[in-house]
Amino acid sequence: MPQDIQKLRQVILALQNQTIPKELEPVLAETSGVLRAEGLIDTFDDSRLTQSKPHPLIGLTAEGQRFSEQIRDDAQWNDVIETLKRVGLSRRSARSAGG
């Protein structure tokens, strides 16, 4: 499986668990625009009334939660990879996966 696609899966699952390991922070920074555009993540204000500054958090939307539940299962994740190969959304990644 391509390393970049696997890391994307790890980021989405980490967001579901509400913990982003340090090594995945660059991947989140790289992919947040696409994930946001697809409606999978959003920034939420987690500040309290007693705080003077906003406290933004990146988290999964309802659609992102549904998607993360689907890709948590290895069989369904493999179906996603096969679909990407078939429709050619990630030609470089699909080729490196042997497709």
All domains of the chain, ordered by start, with CATH?
A: 3-72 (1.10.10)
Could you tell me what percent of the chain has a pLDDT over 70?
Answer: 82
Query: In this predicted model, what pLDDT tens digit does every residue of 26-73 receive, in sequence order?
Result: 999 998 988 999 999 998 877 776 777 776 788 999 999 999 998 999
- Contact indicator for 87, 79 with CB cutoff of 8 Å: no
Query: Token pair of 96, please?
Result: 């490196």
Rounded to 5 degrees, what are φ and ψ at 41?
Answer: -130, 160
Of the candidates 41, 55, 37, the one whose C-alpha atom is nearest the C-alpha of residue 13 is: 41
How far apart CA 74 and CA 49 sit, in angstroms, is 42
């078939």: which residue's tokens? 86
Mean pLDDT of the chain: 82
